[in-house]
Amino acid sequence: MITMTYKEYTAQIVYSEEDSCFIGDLVGIRDIVSFHGDSLEEIRVAFEESVDDYLLTCQEFNRLPQKPVASKEAVAS
């Protein structure tokens, strides 16, 4: 498992043999934010775009984005 951090948000990345791509999810928040990419470079870009989109969507709906909470899952990697 790979972890990435951007703007205080952490993602856990796994490779899916079935889908032949990397799949990532934000951890430490209750909202579901997922993304995928065919390479580590693509998954990094998709992760950063997903965080930016999440923050923009929260702003558009006039709600505060959830702040990441350190979890055992995020720290264990």
Other beta carbons within 10 angstroms of residue 47's beta carbon come to 25
- Statement: the pTM of the whole predicted model exceeds 0.75: yes
Alpha carbons 69 and 60: distance in angstroms, whole number: 23
pLDDT at 77: 40
pLDDT at 73: 47
Q: What's the half-sphere exposure (Cβ side, CA atoms, 13 Å) at 39?
A: 2
pLDDT at 71: 52
pLDDT range class, residue 69, cuts 50, 70, 90:
confident
Look up residue 61 and give its two tokens.
Answer: 């709906």
Task: Indicate whether 72 pLDDT > 70.
Answer: no
